[in-house]
């Protein structure tokens, strides 16, 4: 089984179309989306439509829940909150109902998926460092946890009681280790690399790979400015931060 696992599209149609185009060439058996299809960008309706065509397993992100009133908008900074309100006014009730179908977690035989943290996933806390990862490993009952949320591609591994971090683009999973794998962000990377990030998990070969792909940042950025959304949301697409 080959899984296409991706996260944090954030209404960036140009990045999402590039990601989908790449996946179509890779013989993916099942797609898993780790949350935040909306927020920040200028094409919420279009990315929802494209996501629905993929028929993935879909996990709820904090922006998805905020748009449908299940997570308090006051938890966000001012420009994120402005984008959430802007998005609320543009989605149809049917599209909002689609967001209601997203679950907080998804479990398979050897792995679990969530948007942020395994510890109270409805709070959408971050896993940013080794200490955060350590506490999440304490509640991880599977071999692997796939996450998004921070927009930073990377792997935390638990080996011999110690936690390690890596940003290698290809990892061979070891039988004795456990992993928390951040797939990065399609629509707004924040690791100083402005290329979109997606992940492929080959369950049979026990290999996880990331792809970083170029897309038309200018087109996506110009749309944000044209819609009157905060200019920082356009600028950070170029900066990868």
- The pLDDT confidence band at residue 49, using thresholds 50, 70 and 90, is very high
Average pLDDT over residues 49-53: 98
In angstroms, the Cα distances linking 187 to 34, 60, 216, 238 are 13, 16, 11, 11
The tokens for 209 are 């790979």
All residues at 6 or more sequence positions from 84 whose CB lies less than 8 Å from its CB, including other chains = 39, 63, 66, 67, 73, 76
In residues, how long is the chain? Answer: 241
Whole-angstrom distance, CA of residue 180 vs CA of residue 153: 11
What digits encode the pLDDT tens for the residues 140-166? 999 999 999 999 999 999 999 999 999
In angstroms, the Cα distances linking 99 to 48, 49, 140, 185, 197 are 9, 12, 26, 19, 22
Q: What pLDDT score was predicted for residue 7? A: 98
**In CATH, what number is assigned to the domain containing residue 132?**
3.60.21.10
Residue 144 lies in domain: 2-239
What digits encode the pLDDT tens for the residues 53-100? 999 999 999 999 999 999 999 999 999 999 999 999 999 999 999 999
Question: Among residues 46, 60, 130, which one has the least CA distance to residue 99?
Answer: 60
CB 169 within 8 A of CB 199: no
Identify the residue whose tokens are 């989306």: 33
Whole-angstrom distance, CA of residue 135 vs CA of residue 154: 17
Count of domains forming the chain:
1
**Alpha carbon of residue 92 to chain centroid:** 23
Q: What pLDDT score was predicted for residue 189? A: 98
Written in H, E and C, the secondary structure of 13-68 is: HHHHHHHHHHHHCCCCCEEEECCCCCCCCCCHHHHHHHHHHHCCEEECCHHHHHHC
């Amino acid at each position: 089984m080959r899984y296409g696992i991706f996260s944090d599209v954030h209404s960036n149609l140009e990045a999402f179309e590039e990601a989908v185009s790449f996946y179509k060439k890779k013989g993916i058996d099942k797609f898993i989306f780790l949350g935040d299809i909306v927020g920040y960008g200028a094409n919420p309706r279009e990315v929802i439509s494209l996501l629905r065509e993929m028929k993935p397993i879909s996990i709820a992100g904090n922006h998805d829940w905020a748009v449908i009133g299940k997570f308090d908008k006051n938890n966000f900074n001012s420009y994120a909150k402005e984008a959430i309100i802007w998005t609320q006014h543009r989605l149809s009730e049917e599209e909002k109902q689609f967001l209601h179908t997203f679950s907080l977690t998804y479990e398979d035989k050897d792995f679990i998926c969530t948007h942020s943290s395994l510890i109270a996933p409805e709070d959408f806390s971050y896993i940013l460092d080794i200490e955060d990862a350590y506490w999440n490993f304490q509640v991880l009952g599977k071999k692997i946890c796939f996450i998004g949320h921070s927009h930073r591609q990377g792997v935390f591994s638990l080996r011999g009681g110690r936690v390690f971090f890596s940003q290698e683009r290809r990892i061979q999973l070891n039988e004795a280790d456990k992993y928390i794998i951040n797939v990065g962000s399609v629509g707004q990377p924040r690791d100083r690399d402005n290329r979109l990030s997606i992940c492929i998990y080959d369950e049979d070969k026990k290999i996880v790979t990331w792809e970083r792909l170029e897309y038309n940042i200018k087109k996506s950025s110009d749309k944000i400015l044209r819609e009157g959304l905060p200019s920082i949301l356009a600028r950070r697409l170029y900066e990868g931060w």
